[in-house]
């Protein structure tokens, strides 16, 4: 798609400046007026289908995807076909057409095996397992996920690796296998720092809360949910994720004999969910509402909710291809997995034979990219925790740590869009890097938080740099990006003391940051 994207750029079209509605209109225009090949049209239709989902126009989204499939040539458009099969399986699942969802998941798995694509194959199996969970057969879902254990170590995508574990955890929690769920959650806490998908990060915290509740710690679980929503509420703009948090919060409240509040939360969520969802999510909310009402001894209304949930369950079962998800399907996957391994092996052997200097340079670049944030191109948290802590820190006598947080960043995403938020992050990163010496280290630690490391024991020097960074950002002309809105940062500064553990230094700088926040923001505080 490089040719298409280059032509778009040559026409001075900046997609980052378009809102969701404009993006949808733009890609539909590309389909009919700008794309030069069938492949380009199919790609534009795929993009259009994604934006249709933003408006909950799932039927239109599916139409775009089917139209795109008719344009593709299997001999040269495999990657795009895999993406479309994957998208169709999600869309049909969302609208409750599980038979069609399974059809496209099977097609996705077979095509992925044929062309040796490990990660799309894994996506297909996760989708099949998810269908089992929707039906309520968590044990069968777990068997599907366990089929992937041998392939999980070969996943290159951090997001997919995290998603795979989260699917497993969801099943284990429903089956009350809490010890194994805890083991996988510990792995997820490490993976979420290298994931760029806020939905996955939120799910890690969600399942942590659910685990606490299942261990009869509802108050701790609820505090975790509340704290996470307060601090990272910009990551909860996804309707299905809001629903999951509402369900878990309600169950915690019911455990605490606070069913009235649980009912209010679920009733509010039901009104919102009915606007975009189909039977499965509605059924889940009705079941929680029934439990909340029963805990308040409102048994008549509880029974009414239970009956409605049962009716939806019957509808789901009527439309569900459960017979196609049994032992025969699992045996089919065993054969497919053997073929996938063979195809991957053959593909890797061919690649090894074609190794060149150019490919070696590519590998070196990829290794470098591991330690850089994909958005701002600054160092990332992985670099801090490996290269800096293990290699650089032992060689320096003193250093100062600046923890920098963009003030009220959530409102930028809410008012201007996440695309504008990304532009702000890039610009802040660039300003910070230009404000310090080349001997200092600037990195994006995560979200809207940045770090600057100054190899110096002179605290006054650090304060001067921190104040310069704060001032440069506050005085920057943000009109091209945010019109009349300005951006400020709060900064916490501390000095590493007597070769103390880096965690202690970070904690102290973090405390200074919160002091800056509490005292009015747009300030530098040292501790």
CB distance 136 to 159 below 8 Å: no
Q: Which SS3 state, helix, strand or coil, does residue 78 take?
A: helix
Q: What is the DSSP letter of 256?
A: T
pLDDT per residue, tens digit, the chain (527 aa), is 778 888 888 888 887 788 889 999 999 999 999 999 999 999 999 999 999 988 878 899 999 999 999 999 988 999 999 999 999 999 999 888 999 999 999 999 999 988 888 899 999 999 999 999 988 899 999 999 988 887 877 788 899 999 999 999 999 999 999 999 999 999 998 888 888 888 898 899 999 999 999 999 999 999 999 887 776 555 445 667 888 899 999 999 999 999 999 999 999 988 877 766 667 788 999 999 999 999 999 999 999 999 999 998 888 888 788 778 877 676 777 777 767 766 656 555 555 556 555 566 665 666 567 889 989 999 999 999 989 999 999 988 899 999 999 999 999 988 888 889 999 999 999 999 999 999 999 999 999 999 999 999 999 999 999 999 999 999 999 998 898 889 999 999 999 987 789 999 999 999 999 999 999 999 999 98
On the CB side of 54, CA atoms within 13 Å amount to 13
Residue in the structure block whose two tokens are 């802590």:
389
489-495: strand order across its sheet: 441-446, 449-454, 400-406, 489-495, 524-526
Cite the beta strand spans of 94-212 per DSSP E: none
CA distance 311 to 75: 46
Domains of the chain: 381-526 (3.30.70.270)
Which secondary-structure segment (H or E) carries 446?
A: strand 441-446
Do the Cβ atoms of 405 and 449 come closer than 8 Å?
yes
**Neighbour-count burial for 218-257, b at 16+ CB within 10 Å, e otherwise:** beebbebbeebbeeeebbbeeeebbbbbbbbbbbbbbbee
Contact between 404 and 474 (Cβ < 8 Å): no
């Amino acid at each position: 798609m490089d040719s298409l994207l280059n032509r778009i750029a040559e026409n001075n079209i900046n997609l980052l400046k378009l809102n969701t509605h404009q993006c949808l209109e733009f890609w539909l225009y590309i389909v009919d007026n700008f794309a030069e090949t069938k492949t380009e049209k199919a790609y534009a239709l795929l993009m259009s289908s994604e934006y249709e989902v933003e408006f909950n126009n799932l039927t239109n989204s599916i139409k775009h995807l089917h139209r795109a499939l008719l344009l593709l040539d299997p001999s040269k458009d495999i990657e795009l076909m895999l993406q479309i099969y994957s998208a169709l399986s999600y869309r049909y699942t969302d609208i409750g057409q599980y038979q069609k969802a399974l059809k496209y998941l099977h097609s996705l798995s077979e095509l992925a095996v044929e062309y040796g694509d490990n990660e799309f194959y894994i996506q297909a199996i996760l989708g099949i397992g998810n269908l089992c969970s929707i039906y309520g057969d968590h044990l069968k879902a777990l068997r599907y996920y366990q089929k992937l254990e041998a392939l999980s170590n070969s996943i290159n995508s951090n997001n997919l690796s995290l998603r795979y574990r989260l699917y497993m955890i969801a099943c284990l929690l429903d089956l009350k296998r809490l010890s194994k769920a805890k083991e996988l959650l510990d792995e997820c806490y490490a993976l979420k720092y290298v994931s760029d998908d806020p939905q996955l990060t939120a799910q890690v915290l969600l399942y942590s809360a659910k685990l606490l509740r299942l261990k009869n710690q509802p108050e701790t679980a609820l505090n975790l949910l509340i704290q996470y929503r307060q601090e990272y509420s910009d990551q909860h703009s996804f309707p299905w994720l809001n629903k999951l948090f509402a369900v878990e919060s309600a169950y915690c409240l019911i455990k605490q004999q606070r069913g009235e509040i649980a009912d209010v939360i679920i009733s509010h969520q039901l009104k919102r969910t009915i606007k975009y969802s189909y039977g499965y999510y509605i059924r889940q909310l009705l079941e929680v509402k029934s439990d909340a009402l029963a805990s308040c001894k409102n048994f008549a209304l509880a029974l009414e909710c239970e009956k409605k949930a049962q009716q939806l369950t019957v509808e789901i079962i009527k439309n569900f291809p459960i017979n196609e998800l049994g032992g025969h399907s699992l045996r089919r996957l065993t054969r497919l997995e053997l073929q996938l391994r063979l195809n991957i092996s053959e593909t890797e052997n061919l690649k090894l034979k074609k190794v060149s200097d150019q490919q070696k340079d590519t590998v070196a670049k990829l290794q470098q990219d591991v330690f850089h944030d994909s958005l701002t191109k600054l160092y990332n948290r992985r670099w801090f925790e490996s290269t800096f802590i293990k290699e650089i820190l032992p060689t320096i006598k003193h250093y100062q740590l600046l923890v920098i947080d963009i003030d009220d960043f959530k409102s930028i995403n809410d008012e201007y869009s996440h695309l504008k938020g990304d532009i702000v992050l890039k610009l802040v990163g660039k300003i910070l890097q230009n404000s310090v010496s080349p001997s200092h280290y600037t990195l994006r630690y995560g979200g809207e938080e940045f770090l600057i490391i100054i190899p110096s024991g002179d605290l006054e020097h650090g304060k001067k740099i921190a104040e310069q960074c704060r001032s440069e950002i506050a005085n920057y002309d943000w009109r091209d990006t945010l019109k009349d809105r300005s951006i400020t940062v709060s900064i916490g500064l501390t000095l590493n003391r007597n070769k103390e553990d880096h965690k202690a230094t970070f904690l102290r700088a973090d405390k200074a940051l919160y002091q800056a926040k509490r005292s009015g923001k747009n300030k530098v505080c040292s501790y």
